[in-house]
């Protein structure tokens, strides 16, 4: 038996698609929902290969900040997309997960 679940990025994408508009989820949250345990980092890798039908912009880190890759364009776009959905950012550029955090 597989003591470890196969790394199905698909499940992460499915979960990401379930995030309602105007809400955000964290990598660790998706990792736990996907029964991945502490593989939160790999959720990032999954998003790195995000299909076009996945709202990757609704996935941020546990601090409520937008993690950035190499391009600065990315986090800027992500913030714009979230603000367009009604998600508010504070002066530090962080989201209040208590209000906008996705609660399945």
Candidates 15, 24, 34, 43: give the one binding DNA (CB under 7 A). Answer: 43
Candidates 10, 45, 80, 104: give the one binding DNA (CB under 7 A). Answer: 45
Residues within window 54-93 making contact with DNA, judged by CB under 7 A: 56, 59, 61-63, 67-69, 74, 92
- Residue 59, phi then psi, degrees to nearest 5: -110, 115
Measured CA to CA, the distance from residue 64 to residue 97 in angstroms comes to 6
Q: Count CB atoms within 10 A of the CB of residue 74.
A: 15
How many helices and strands in the chain, by DSSP H and E?
A: 5, 2
Question: Which residue ranges make up the site for DNA (CB under 7 A)?
Answer: 4, 7, 26-29, 31, 37-45, 47-48, 50, 56, 59, 61-63, 67-69, 74, 92
């Amino acid at each position: 038996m597989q003591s470890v679940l196969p790394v199905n990025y698909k499940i992460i994408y499915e979960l990401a698609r379930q995030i309602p508009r105007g809400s955000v989820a964290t990598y660790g949250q998706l990792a736990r929902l996907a029964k991945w345990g502490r593989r939160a980092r790999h959720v990032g890798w999954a998003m790195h290969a995000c299909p076009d039908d996945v709202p990757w912009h609704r996935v941020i880190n546990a601090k409520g900040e937008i993690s950035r890759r190499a391009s600065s364009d990315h986090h800027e776009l992500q913030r714009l997309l979230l603000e367009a959905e009604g998600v508010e950012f504070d002066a530090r550029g962080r989201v209040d997960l208590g209000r906008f955090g996705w609660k399945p």
